[in-house]
Every structure is written in structure tokens, then in C-alpha cells.
Structure 1
Amino acid sequence: MQEDIVNADMKQADKIWKVMEENLSLEYHLDRMTKDELVKVAAQYKVKGITSLKKADAVIKVKNSIIEKIDITLDLLNDEGFSYLQNLINGNCIESCETNELINTTYLRNRGILFTGIIDENLKVILPIEVSELIKIKLTKELKENTLRNTEIVKLFAGMVYYYGVLTIDKFIELAESTLEYDIDYERVEMIINNGEELGFDYQIEGNIAVHIDVEEVSEIIEAQERNCEIGYYKFDKKALIKAAKPDFIEENKQALKLEKVIGELFVIDKKILKEEIESYSIAIKNEEPLDACIDVYLRAYQIEADEERNIFSEELTKLANSVRRWSYKGYSQTEIDNKKKTVVVEVKVGRNDVCICGSGKKYKKCCGR
């Protein structure tokens, strides 16, 4: 997702990376923008009526909006954005543009906070003096704590979307209540997760639903979750969700590692390509593709034709499919679902006067059945 954003920025290189003066005036840099870009900046501050104005008047109106309403942008910053602005202010408000900061740079440019261009044939980022003076006062300990909360919320959300495939804001708030140590409301979460999409987390917003970028048929996953209404959402701890929020994250899977090792010993294949193919297989399973079809595609790709070899690999691929955390099962794997069903059967069969299943020798009602 982040790579897609960077590539999209590169396609707009002619707009973003124009020759500019070493000028710290906000008005100068807004004047360098197109009318459409000014409209988009104004929209971030809920300002309308820009399209009907002359360019010079539009620049002044957008400039005043940024200065008067800069708290809107600062209030929704994540920790990386906070640190990035802090470093710019601690410097001379003019820095070389680093590739790893391109997403944050574009995000802040879209809000009229900083601007990009070419000075002496070098890519530069400029923080206008009017903006830097305002931000310098506002980069407080309280704002830093707020950015950490924003970051935690968006990462927990992205992590849940990774495991559940589709997720509404209401469901996120319900699931996150026991994890967070502070209250959150719908409107604020909505703004934070919309920003998260812009910052390259692996989900897209479709109406009131966030969808993981690997989901192929949204309606099918939603319908499958509804059919499995007896299955609750798997409870992941905070650490697991934040880890899963990382763009291009792939969950470690013992069965996948085993399959990777077996194939690596039998075939000469690049390890990176092998990992990608195993991940593609897992994604197909998450998308509820028929198991037999998924296995057949994989076997044909490696030209595995002998019956014995096909049986061995089919068994390993089935084990992998059963261990994959499924979107339709709300984060559970097929193996976990099967085990839950077995547990229910055992619980039903044990009578209160029967010998307890724990092995104590006591009656169930006087032991684990209390």
C-alpha cells in the first residue's frame, strides 16, 4: 500500500517537484499550487467557496484558513508526523527530502503545512515561517501524548482489519474498549482511520467499512461472517495487532515455514519468491477460494504430477489452509474452529454426577463443574 502511494506521488512528480526559490513565505508556496490543489487543501480545514475565487484571493483565503485552523491537522498527527515536524523546526525549516519520509511529506503538503520543490537541482522540503512559528508553540508534551494515542488507534485498527478482513468503526470501538485505557468516539476514530488510509496502512475505506487490500470480494466476506454468527471475533492482544498493522505484514505460520522448507529442499527457487507464493496461497484461502482449486493451482505451478508426491504436498497444503486465520471466521483458523466444536461436544456429554474429566476422581459437580 505504501509503495502504491509512493508510486502515485512519482507520477505527479511534475506538480510536486517544481523548481522553487529558497523562500519561507506561506503565501509564496500556496501561489505555486494549482487551483485544484488549493481546493483540496481548503477541504482539509472544512473551508468552501475556493473555486469561485480568483487565484490570488483563493491563496489568501487558504493561507488564513491554515493559520486559523492548524489545530485540525496537529490534533490528528501520528507520532511519525510529530517527529518529522519537530526535526524540520529544529533544523532550518529547509531539508533534503528523504525517500522514507515521502508519505509524510505528501500528507503534510496536502494540508498546506510544508511544501516540496527543487533548489539547486536537489529535492527539498520547506516549512513556511508562518507555519513553523505556530507549530513551534504547539509541539507540547500534551500534543505528543495525543499523537501517540492516534498512532495506537490507527495501528490497532489496521491490525484488526488484517485479521478480520472487513471491519466497521462501530465494531472496532466495541472490540477496542477493553484494550485502550482512554475513551474514544466514532467521529474521532473515523478521522484517524481516514488519515491512516492516506498514510499507507493496508486497508481502504468503502463507505462505513474498512477493507484489507487483499480482500477480493467484500460482499462475500461480509456474508460469510454473517453466516458464522455463532463465532465471535478472535481476541488478539495489543502487541499482536500493532505488529500486524505494519504495511505488507505477513503473519508467521509454523505450517508455512515447514512447507517452505520442504519445497526449498526439492526445488531450486528464490526464497523471496517462495514466500510470496505461499502467501498468495494463504490469501486465496482467506478469500474463500475452494481448497481443491487452490491446491491444484499450487501443484501445477511446481509441475508435481506423481501421485505419491501430489498426495504428500496436498496433505501439507491442507494443513496450511487449516492453520490460516480466516476472515470468514473473524480471525480464527479452521483448526481452532474444529477444536472449539470438539470442546463443546465434551462439555455436553459430561453429566454432573459423572467422574470429572480432569482426572481428579471426584464427581464433575464437586470438581470442575462447580
Structure 2
Amino acid sequence: MKEKSYFCEKQVTDETTNETNILEHEANDLKDEKYLEDVDTEIAGLVDEIILKRIQRTAKSALKRECSKDLKELLKVETKDTLKEIMNELNIEYKSADKKDDLIDKISINYEDAILKVLKYVDSDCYISLQKILKNNGIIPISGHMDESENSIFMQDMGMLYIAESDDKLYLCAPEQFLKVIPQIDKKSIEKNDEIIKLFRGMLYYYGGISAKEFMERLPEDAKIDLPLEEVEKILAMGEKTCAEYIYEDSFGLNGFLCDIQELEALKLQGLTDDYKQLTKTELLKASRRDYIGDKNNYKKFIKVIKDNYDIPGDGIEQLLEFTYETYQLEGKEELIKKALDHLSVPEFLDSEIINAIDDVCRKIPAWKYNGYTEAEKNNSNRVNIEKVRVGRNDPCPCGSGKKYKKCCESKGL
């Protein structure tokens, strides 16, 4: 979704979670995913091309590489460009004129220190994957490791894991130097990283996007972080690479449903508020859950109407709720109602019931354009502000409608 460039990136991240099954799976299923339905043909084709190129490159290396825990042996089948990509990820210096053997030697010499610096910033999910790798002594059949596929892709990009072939089977191979580093990881630091990432994801659920600096400033007192901003930024950047749940670029985070910061700024202009909802630690941690779209009670009325009138399976309901949440956040209530009525082919007698149910949902969702406040909270805030103003019945209504007070907010009981 970034210039619809981040949309591409999100799709690449989602789909490459299965890339290590390269000899057993085709990339054709990509077009079946829901998020491609609203992407134009040009972008979808570009995404497919990127993924296929990566799969082909990985397959080519895997078929040349034998199972091993020797770092140099694992690296020797890679191209110079791939070696340089690994060195960039690990912050290992090289010269443009370096030959392939020189690059491999530099990686080998600096590998352990570089890996340890990276692993300092990972979260608990990644840590669990690391422990599984260690338990399997660094050689893992691919079919047995795909539960942590995002972490697997991350570790391949960082030069920690390599796909190799043996007896017509694929394996993930970890260099011996990598296995030596894993026990040195401070588990308490990992737990702290985990909480920081969760708090950040929770804040992105409410606000849509926020800088690392503002994130630290807006944390409630019982969730304050005793780390320098630079360290927090490294943790958040690593969180994007390992969990693929948000975008993080130039010290700014965005909710995964957003394309770019310009889209968020446009939404904020609609909300016309500089006031941010104050959040508790409990609220932030609850909202940090994967694919979280709010408390299910928010959708209770809507779900009942749908189940009473449509035969939709459980996963279909979940997709509909995600569609409802995303469309409301990005396009607003009116557009959501229009799309829902069209998508569900709502008969006329059911129009008002569906509309009321959607309106009920929208009043309860913390909106990015309102900086985390719900529509109900925003309207209540406007009501409170109006009550503070003494106004005559024939005076212009302070809500800004242009109508007289007696024909506007007074008639609504405000």
C-alpha cells in the first residue's frame, strides 16, 4: 500500500510467507486474496512479478545449495548483489569493488557481532522461532517451520536462514555462528521489546498513525518506556520486519490498512480536531492483537441482522466485519452504507435495518479522523461544548450549521 506502493508491499509481505515452499506451490493463488480485489490490474501484475522473481531467485539458490551449517558454504551460491543485500541488513561494510570471495570473508568475520546486534531488537514471537531453530540444531524441514513464516522470511533476508535441498526435500539451514548467538539473547529485553511493539500497534489502532516521538509522549504513566528514543525506533523498525502488522518508515508508523501518510493526513483534515483520545495501557494492549478491528460487541447488532437475513459462513462474517471496519475508517459512513447495500444486494424492506445496524457500528469504532475518539464521543463532545455557550433561540446555532438554534440543536435536545 505505498502510493499504492505500500499496498504492493503489504501483498508481497503477506504472500511471501509461503515462499519457502517454492517447489511445492505456485504463485497463482495470489489473485484469489481479498486485498487484490480492489487493486487495479497494473498494480496486481506488478505484485505478481515481484513475488515470482523472488521465488525464482530463492529456488535457484536452494537447488544449488546443500544442507550445511557452514556459513561460507551457505553463502557461496548467492550472487554478489544478494551478498551485499545481506551485508546492508547486518550493517557490515564493504567496497563496491569487492569480489565475491571478499564479501563472503567479510560476512564471516563480522557475522556473530552483527547478528547479536540485530537480535537485540526482536520481539517474543521471533524469539520463539529462534528457540525452535536451536532445538532442531539448525536444520529444519520446511513443512515443520511454517507456523512462524514471517519470521522465517525475515531471517532469510538477514542471512540467518538459508533454504537448501537434500534428497529432494527442502530444509531451512542455520549457520553454526547463528546458533552460537541465540543463547546470548537477553530474554528480559525481548519481553520489553514485545510490550513496546504491542503498545505501538495499539496506538496505531486508535490513531491510524503516529511518530515514535509522539508515541512515547502519549503513553499513559504506567506504560512509560525507560529507553532512549533511538533504541525505541530500532525496536519499532524491527517489529515491522518480523510481524508485518504495520508500516514503519522515517520514524513514523502507520496502521496496515493505510496506504501512506498522505492518506492519513487527508482523513485528519476531515475530522477537524487536534485533540487526541487519552488511552490506558489496558486499552492499548487489547488493541494490539493481530487483525484487531475492535471489540466484537461493537458489531453485535450488525452481526445479528446479517445472520438473521443471510446465509454467510463464519469466515465470511469475519471478512465482512473487516470490510466494514476498513471502509468506515478510509471512506466514511456514507460510503460504507452505499457499498454494503450494494455488496449484500439488500432488498428494500431491509434497507433501514441494515443502515441502522451500520450506523450503530460506526458510532462505536475509534476513528482515525477523530484521533481515536468514536463518533458518539465526538458528538457528545460537541454537545458539551454547545451547552457551555449561552445562546438565544433565534441566534445562529453554535454547531456551525448556519441554521437558527431553535431549528437545529435545540430541536434535537442539545
So what's the TM-score if we normalise by structure 1?
A: 0.82
Greater CA drift, 153-162 or 231-240: 231-240
CA distance in 1, matches of 2:86, 2:362: 46
CA distance in 2, matches of 1:5, 1:194: 19
**Are residues 5 and 170 of structure 1, via their aligned partners in 2, closer, same or farther at CA, if it must alter by over 3 Å?**
farther
Residues 160-212 of structure 1, C-alpha deviation per residue, up to 9 Å, x if partnerless? 11221111111111123624354122222222222222123322234442222
Q: Which residue does 1:149 correspond to in 2?
A: 192
CA contact (8 A) 2:246 2:255 kept: yes
Q: Percent identity?
A: 22
Q: Which residue does 2:377 correspond to in 1?
A: 336
RMSD: 2.7
CA distance in 2, matches of 1:5, 1:200: 13
Matched, 1:103 2:150: yes
CA contact (8 A) 1:76 1:150 kept: yes
SS in structure 1 at match of 2:291: coil
Q: Counterpart of 1:40 in structure 2: which amino acid?
A: E
**Are residues 313 and 197 of structure 1, via their aligned partners in 2, closer, same or farther at CA, if it must alter by over 3 Å?**
same
Residues 344-363 of structure 1, C-alpha deviation per residue, up to 9 Å, x if partnerless? 455678xxxxxxxxxxxxxx
Q: Which residue does 1:78 correspond to in 2?
A: 123
CA distance in 1, matches of 2:80, 2:285: 39
Task: Please list, as runs of the form range in 1=range in 2, the aligned pairs for 1:1-370 lying within 5 A after superposition.
Answer: 3-7=14-18, 11=52, 12-17=54-59, 18-19=62-63, 20-97=65-142, 98-136=145-183, 138-139=184-185, 143-176=186-219, 178-180=221-223, 182-216=225-259, 218-225=261-268, 230-289=273-332, 291-306=333-348, 308-345=349-386
Q: Counterpart of 1:161 in structure 2: which amino acid?
A: L
Q: How many residues of Structure 1 are paired with residues of Structure 2 in the alignment?
A: 343
CA distance in 2, matches of 1:86, 1:207: 31
**Are residues 313 and 93 of structure 1, via their aligned partners in 2, closer, same or farther at CA, if it must alter by over 3 Å?**
closer
Residues 33-86 of structure 1, C-alpha deviation per residue, up to 9 Å, x if partnerless? 222221111112323335421111110011112134333112112222223323
Q: Counterpart of 1:189 in structure 2: which amino acid?
A: V
CA contact (8 A) 1:173 1:184 kept: no
CA contact (8 A) 1:166 1:221 kept: yes
CA contact (8 A) 1:45 1:65 kept: no
Residues 201-229 of structure 1, C-alpha deviation per residue, up to 9 Å, x if partnerless? 32223444222221256425325436756
CA contact (8 A) 2:220 2:280 kept: no
**Are residues 274 and 327 of structure 1, via their aligned partners in 2, closer, same or farther at CA, if it must alter by over 3 Å?**
same
Q: How far did residue 329 of structure 1 move?
A: 0.8
Greater CA drift, 146-155 or 42-51: 42-51
Q: How far did residue 13 of structure 1 move?
A: 3.6
CA contact (8 A) 2:71 2:175 kept: yes
CA distance in 2, matches of 1:324, 1:228: 14
CA distance in 1, matches of 2:381, 2:69: 63
Q: Counterpart of 2:115 in structure 1: which amino acid?
A: I
Residues 221-280 of structure 1, C-alpha deviation per residue, up to 9 Å, x if partnerless? 325436756553223333432333333222224342211111211122233223322331
CA contact (8 A) 2:305 2:354 kept: no
So what's the TM-score if we normalise by structure 2?
A: 0.74
SS in structure 2 at match of 1:331: coil
